[in-house]
Amino acid sequence: MIYLVEHFYSIQGEGKYVGTPSFFFRFGGCNMKCEGFACSERAPNGDEVLGCDTVYAVNKEHFLQNWIPINKAQELLNVLSLYDLPEAVDIVLTGGEPLIYANDEVFVMFLEMLVANGHQITFETNGSLSVDFEKYPVYKECIFALSVKLSNSNEPESKRIRGDVIYNIASNAKDAFFKFSIDKESINIALEDEIQSICIHSPQTKVYCMPVAGNKEELEENTEPLIEFCKAKGYNFSDRLHIRIWDANKGV
């Protein structure tokens, strides 16, 4: 079963294509929790749930009532007709972790329909789940933002860094780039060595670093130290434009 958590039309706020008008499909479910990012969301039952800045799309137990079950590809495609959109607008598939559905026939059919209609597709993925580019060649037409998790996520290294998966995606995708989430406290804990250990699996792939932030205050707090880190190491700094403009609001 595919679960859709939310959909909205905005601009891409992060990474290589920042500022591009994009339509977002946020899917529910993830193979990680990333509680080290310490972002919190209050569940409908009043519980404070810890995780990443989209914990509501990760934690099924507390937020299931907001997850919409999808049974047919056309249901997803019909969502686009609810909006007044430019022709063949860019599509961003995010989560949670959208690639937990990579082998789902409904999901693959949805991708094929999008490509047939001229849409550019970008996956926002943690880069730990395999993609079968030969069985499902539609993935070769997609862009992958590889948000590989660092030790500040509190996920075990064996789970978050899959060199074979990173190489496979970067080698077969239409385009790919690394996108790391970093807070000021993590800059001095040998992140450079960790990033290099990830990038060695695809040395030609560009690196973008963005501040860990669940709201505008956290974004501001982590931005300047991260800019200095990027200047020192030669990485690209990525703002989180949607948070800077709209703070912690959803659907932007």
Q: What residue ranges do the domains of the chain occupy?
A: 2-205
Digit-by-digit pLDDT tens for the chain (252 residues) are 999 999 999 999 999 999 999 999 999 999 999 998 888 889 999 999 988 889 999 999 999 999 999 999 999 999 999 999 999 999 999 999 999 999 999 999 999 999 999 999 999 999 999 999 999 999 999 999 999 998 889 999 999 999 999 999 999 999 999 999 888 888 866 678 889 999 999 999 999 999 988 899 999 999 999 999 999 999 999 999 999 999 977 777
Yes or no: say if 30 and 95 are a contact pair by the CB < 8 Å rule. yes
SS3 93: strand
**pTM exceeds 0.85, yes or no:** yes
- Considering the four listed CATH numbers 3.20.20.70, 3.40.50.720, 3.40.30.160, 3.10.20.30, the one that applies to the domain covering 2-205 is 3.20.20.70
Strands (E) in the chain, as ranges, are 2-11, 21-27, 39-42, 48-51, 68-70, 90-94, 121-125, 143-146, 175-182, 207-211, 236-237
Phi first, then psi, for residue 94 (nearest 5°) are -135, -170
213-216 long-range contacts (CB < 8 A, ≥24 apart) are 213/53, 213/240, 213/243, 214/37, 214/39, 214/40, 214/53, 214/248, 215/243, 215/247, 215/248, 216/243, 216/244, 216/247, 216/248
